[in-house]
Structure 1
Amino acid sequence: MRQVILDTETTGIDPKDGHRLVEIGAVEMVNRRFTGRTYHQYINPERHIDAEVVAVHGIDDAKVANEPVFAQVADAFWSFIEGAELVIHNAPFDVGFIDHELNMLSGRANPLGPVRDHCRVLDTLVMARKMHPGQRNSLDALCKRYDIDNGHRVLHGALLDAEILAEVYLAMTGGQTALTLDAEANQSQNSDTPAETGLSIQRMTLTPGQLRVITPNEQEQQAHRAKCETHQLRWFGDTVRDA
């Protein structure tokens, strides 16, 4: 399955008030492995960026003054996400801004969007609230809960937050299998380790005598038989079966 873990930064809170995207960051995973493909783009929002959000993500008017406007990057961005399952923390916020930008593209022979017509959307905030009701479920809180290092996250940044969210998502859904394709390359060096599992298996080499095998004595075997009888189980040598 192809997934794109995505995050955005904006000029403000609500696109209905004329706010726009200023940054998009996304990383691609296929079958729970990073492919190495990422998308990162700063965007000139063609409007002023509110001071309150500059304090959050550090992107001011000067930083994006010479960046392309959304219309110039829309096709490349759409090509990266189309058909994927988008993994987003608080998806209505990001999807709302993306759809707003797509709706503003006029005169196109091949209109883009809306997002949910072309991509599945998985909201990790909704998932976290179901898994941890009554607890804080911000990205920072989830990093702490799942022991994921985000100490380098001083300010919000779309690509950095997407990378952190990818690790959080893997931890929330059963643990990491492989962060990069380098893991698969390492596995291929050991023919006894199936690369398709995405697991790193370490084998121990033991010489005779290093591993002790302790067999039960007669008294211990009698105690075990008595325990089995107490729980209405039958003892067949080294096998326990339902009575």
Structure 2
Amino acid sequence: MTGKVYLVGSGPGDPELMTVKARRLVDEADVVLHDKLPGPEILESIPEERREDVGKRAGGEWTPQEYTNRRLVELAEEGKTVVRLKGGDPFVFGRGGEEAEHLAANEIPFEYVPGITSAVAGPGVAGIPVTHRDHTSSVSFVTGHEDPTKEESAIDWHALADTGGTLVVLMGVGKLPMYTEELRSAGMPPETPVALVERATWPDQRVATGTLETIVDVRDEEGIDPPAITVIGGVAASRGRVEAFLQNGRNENER
């Protein structure tokens, strides 16, 4: 009999922020194909003989998506229960939609299991709400790492600058100089608050803050590396007003 694939979101990294269903499926699966973004404690909780690393690192080693797609089908056709474990939510810049289509095309049963997206949880654990009635009533989620085969970017940074809402950029540390310049050129004030949240909810979580004009220098001085979330807009300044009282179980690990 054909097995089943579960496209599972692990949340931002803290094992206590996994859903009950996600934890159960990971524990019961025959094989867990994971990327690099589930937190280290989550990955270490899975026996090595039951997990396969099919992740990608910015500028480093990576597994072709075609291989991952093929492997999901192969394992399911062997009758195995497979968890495709992703950081955050599989359908928020996680390529879960592509994998779902591939499974359907190969007549493999699958189920989507939502996870807490780092686009919201990452800023939140740093004391930054992505919406706030005093600052913004809208939020835009943007990828900082588009498909490299595209002839041109599909992101209109000038239009985003005109929205006046919060911008949350995922996987955008490397291209930070590009899009901060684009936003300033589009008329976004250089003093607009910006925050970088590195490895949100992980044991080594770090947060760096600046402005649209200074954040690139801050990134370089602090050595902020992927994975990190960029938050642009008035809400990024909220952290300074709550930081001294913020208690979330991970705040003490910030440097």
TM-score by length of 2: 0.30
The higher radius of gyration belongs to: 1
